[in-house]
Structures are given as structure tokens and as C-alpha cells.
Structure 1
């Protein structure tokens, strides 16, 4: 039996508090098991490290396994536990395309924590069985872009939809500034998209970029699409069966919502908003593509989300390691998530 230890990211407990270990265990199992490696045992380590997770496997892990493990939101460093409990550091190939700073620099009220975003991306990837050589991630309610930046860091193509024109403009300004400051080759353009009646329904901001100049010159780029529109327009704006994973942090309370085509006021029901959105989200995902969405249990219940998904062509993964991620964020938010696969 081989034993390994992950030194935990110092910020992990501050996100999940009492549920931190349970969530870390489940995420790690999802990441590893999706690649055919079985964890025999997982437990909190007592190795003289500040905070660590230990796990055992029957077979010796390889560099590709280590690289996958390093994507875990709790990950800080990895060791192999050898004779007499000594720790042997394991050097790991970096999985990142762009630096972490892309998602870390921006600070604003209401920003979804980067580690939690990475957790959701990992769960969606672990459930996805499209077999695509390159993943396209979509966040159909992308806010100020945390999930989109995480997708770029991971080497994915990304698509976002955001109804708030000011937030969408902030994404555009920040991304171009970041690419210029980092001297990353890129090209950008803006387009307008119309519906069947010829009426404009979205503005589209498109960027093609690469983390290395030579890759850009070979046209081996990452694609970034941002639509300023209502998320319910997704099936009009985005090609059918074109996205591998959908990751989104749904609005938590009555401040948020979505405007219908005939109403200027916001719909303040998270459940109704989800019912309106899911058909379009299902349309853009590939068969065996997956989604991971988070929500506030105080305003939207897991059982209701599950019912909506199952009524719209999804299979909900409600068993280990894709369940039991609920955790308290603050007095008004008890955050949960759900993972499902398109049938």
C-alpha cells in the first residue's frame, strides 16, 4: 500500500470551517477516481504538518496522477510517506496555462472564492465524459468572471453570459489589461448578435490568446467568448452540443435575478429562474457533458434543483463523491452544490 500526504492550502479552513475536511476528502476522491485510481483509505494526517490529508492507494502513482491531484482546491504541496513516516517531496508538473494571479488580483464584494470555484470546476470535470481533447467551459451567469478566469488558467476555451453590461465591461477591461501587462499575445474583436426577428439580443466580446508566443503564432490558442445578454438566450447565441462543462454560482438572494423579455423588473425567484434557464443550458452542453452549480439552500433547496434537472434531461450524481458539499458561508448563506450529467 502506498501512502501520500497533501499539505493543505492555508485558506481552505476559512472557506468551509467545520466541513473543510469532508469537502476535501470528497473532491480528492472525485478527481482521482475519474481517472481510474482507487483510494483505499483517506484521513486527516498527523505528520507534524500544519494541516494535511493522507490517502493510500494500492498502486504507485505516476506523474500524470500527481498532476491531477495538484488541481485540487485544497492542494498546496504533495509528499510520499516513506520509511519511519518520513516525507519525500514530490515535484509536480504545473497544470496551469496562465498564472494564478489572473483570478487572484481582482477583489470585490460578492466575489466567489477562487478555491470554491476550482472545486466546482474539478467536480464538473470529474463527471464529464465527453472525451474532448480540449474542454470548453461555460458560465451562463458569469458575474465578473471568476469562473472564466479559472477556465483560462486551466487551459480551457471559455464562454460566459452576463446580463449586467457594466460587469461585462469590467471583464473586458480587466482581461485585456492583464494580457497586455503580462505581454501575452492576443487578438480581440466585438460583434453583435441578433435573434430570429433581426433584433439585437447580445453584444459579444471575443479574445483569442495563448500563454506562450510560439503557441499563438501556431494558432494554438485559447478562445474567450463573453455575451452581454440574458442567460435564457444561450440556445440562440451558442452552438448546440458545443460545451463540455457548465459551472456557475447561482444568485444567492433577492438582490439578483433575470429580466424576462416582457418585463423590466427582476424575477426574484431562484427556482423559477432555474426552470427558465435549464432548457437552454441543456441545449449547449454536449451529450455526457456535465454541470456543477452552487446555490443558497435558504432560498433554493437541493431537492428542487434536482427535480428541475431531472425533468430537463440530466442525471443528477447524488452519491459519493458528488454529494454532501453543503457549508455555511455566513448568516444568510448556506451554500450547496449539485453535479449532473446530460443524458
Structure 2
């Protein structure tokens, strides 16, 4: 048996002061989820340690190599990882999945934007709940954000090299994302094709589609190894009009905190996402393949965890509800106490 070693990772500095206050606890929960899903439970003694006046997340494990380090490299809060021995910190080489420059994630600034570190965490934790979590490294996962706003989830999926799609009801957000991505692709000299079209059926307009095909490099683009991104301007309850059943591996979304992302007729002035989710979840479930996973972030002031888990269970989902998955609750501001729930679509459910 390999001797146990001590490791620590330095937390990524956060520009959001409130988010930074809970970053260590969130990182610990995310690491625990990775440990259970893909690291074989080999990490032990996970805790927070101060070294040289700087906080680290530390743990013990047999020597980490290969895919172990590749998984750890993509934790949302990781800045650098070290082996700790005899009071010395030895930095380890880590290779992130990132296919493009970080400004794809960070350059957009607008009121109500979900923190990009949390978006990455939500995508990671959802991927760990599907029946093939190793595909986060190996590629092939297809991601849907059915309440995608201005595309933070889509950008993170593309950063990982994953095909992604989103649905957004607000026309201004749809146009803003299209303008941003076109400019970013051009300025970054990324080989691509992009077009916006109207989707019609029986001579009626169903919505608009922004479709992008891009390559990590010109060589890969020419060889047909491309990343596909789609954004639909329509109500999320109509998502099934634009995508085939069982065509996504992951559904990742930040549920509305008010009425800005949902239908006013359904959500009214309530902060609760339950009315919207009750209407949309049957549609989303059909789009998710059996064995795929869904991850939903929401404001706990608007709905109790038990209400969301009951709703998901009623649609054939197996809830991830262990201690690690209950460690993500954190404050965003005075009105928002955010949590996330993750579940896998059963292969035998409805």
C-alpha cells in the first residue's frame, strides 16, 4: 500500500468579497464530491489549515498522479496544489481542462451575473453525479442550461471543450450574448462559424437560434473536431421544440431569484422557483438521457430543499443528498442564501 502523503491547495482569490467568505467551505464540499465520485474515497483528513498566514485546504492521500491530479486541477477554487512535507511546500504540475483564455469567463460584467467560480462548481458537481463522471476529463458530455441568461454556463462548458446549449426567454439577454461571443471569437482569433436564424414550424416562428461551431485550434477545426454551441431565444417550457429527447448528459442551471428569467404569468412576483420548475421540469427531464444528471442552484428564501428534492424525485431522479452535497449553502447577499441540489436521472424511472 502506498504511504500516505499530505497535500494542500491554495484557494483561488475571489473578487467577490461575500463569495470569498464561504469559499473554503464550498471548496471542501466540492473536493468531497470529487473524492466520492472519481477519486475512490482515497482522500482523508480533509480540513482547513493556515500556513504562513495563508489559508489552505489540506488532505491526506496516497501519492497523487495522472488522472487524480487532472481532476483536482479543475476544482473551481483551486489556485495551486502542493505536497507538504517537513514544513516545505512542493508545487505540483496540474493541467486544467481550459481550452481558451480565461477572459471568455471573466470579461462579461452585468447586474445579476452568477459568480463564474460558482458556475464552474455547479457544472463540476453535476458532472460528478452522472453515471459517467470520467467523461468530464475525456470529453463527450453535452450540457444544457435551460435558464441560461447571458451564457455564463455556456462559456464554462465551452472552456472545458464540451458541446453546450442554452434557452433564454429574454430577447435582450439573447442578443447581448450573441454580440459578446461574436466579438470575443473574432478578437481571440478563434476559428468559427456563427449565425442567428429564426426557427419555424408550420410557417410559425418558434423562436430564434444562435448557432456557433468553433475549434480549439485552426488545425482541429479543419479536421472537424469542433465544439458546438446553441442558444435559443424562447420560453424554457418550449425547450422540447428545439432539441431531441435524451440529447443531453447534464442540465445545469441557476434558478430565478425573481421574475427576470421566468414567465411572469407563471412566477408572478414570488421569489420561489417552484412554479417555474413544476412547469419546466417535465420538459427538461425528457431532454436528459437516463443516467444523466441535473444540478439546480436556487435561493433558499424562496423554496425549501425538501420541496425541490420531492419535485425531482417525482420525475424519476435519484437525489444526491449526502453530507458533501449538503455543504454548498452560502450567502450571496442579504436577500439570497443560495444552495444547490444535484440528482441523477434513473434508468428505470418515469
TM superposition score category, shorter chain reference: over 0.9
Tell whether 2:24 aligns with 1:21.
yes
**Could you tell me how far 1:306 is from its partner in structure 2?**
0.9
How many residue pairs were aligned?
A: 337
SS in structure 1 at match of 2:324:
coil
- Equivalent position to 1:80, from 71, 78, 83: 83
Task: Indicate conservation of the 8 Å contact 2:294/2:344, yes or no.
Answer: yes
Structure 2: give runs of 5+ residues left out of the alignment: none
SS in structure 1 at match of 2:35:
helix
Q: TM-score, normalised by structure 1?
A: 0.93
Give the distance between the partners of 2:111 and 2:304, measured in 1 at CA: 25
Task: Indicate conservation of the 8 Å contact 1:206/1:225, yes or no.
Answer: yes
User: Larger deviation: 322-331 or 120-129?
Assistant: 322-331
**Could you tell me how far 1:64 is from its partner in structure 2?**
2.1
2:186 alignment counterpart: 180
> Could you report, residue by residue, the CA deviation over 1:152-204 in whole angstroms, capped at 9, with x for unpaired residues?
11111000000011110111111111011011100122333245x55321211
1:70 alignment counterpart: 73
Give the distance between the partners of 2:15 and 2:35, measured in 1 at CA: 19
1:193 alignment counterpart: 199
> Could you report, residue by residue, the CA deviation over 1:184-229 in whole angstroms, capped at 9, with x for unpaired residues?
100122333245x553212111100012111001010000001000
**Could you tell me how far 1:286 is from its partner in structure 2?**
1.2
Give the distance between the partners of 1:311 and 1:220, measured in 2 at CA: 39
Give the distance between the partners of 1:201 and 1:340, measured in 2 at CA: 30
Matches within 5 A, 1:188-267: 188-194=194-200, 198-258=203-263
1:108 alignment counterpart: 110
> Could you report, residue by residue, the CA deviation over 1:205-258 in whole angstroms, capped at 9, with x for unpaired residues?
110001211100101000000100000111221111111111111111245521
Tell whether 2:50 aligns with 1:46.
yes
Distance 1:92-1:36 versus aligned 2 partners, 3 A rule: closer
**Could you tell me how far 1:21 is from its partner in structure 2?**
2.6
Cα RMSD, aligned residues only: 2.0
Structure 1: give runs of 5+ residues left out of the alignment: none
SS in structure 1 at match of 2:51:
coil
Tell whether 2:143 aligns with 1:137.
yes
**Could you tell me how far 1:3 is from its partner in structure 2?**
1.1
- Equivalent position to 2:169, from 142, 163, 171: 163
SS in structure 1 at match of 2:154:
helix
User: Larger deviation: 31-40 or 84-93?
Assistant: 31-40
SS in structure 2 at match of 1:201:
strand
Task: Indicate conservation of the 8 Å contact 2:7/2:82, yes or no.
Answer: yes
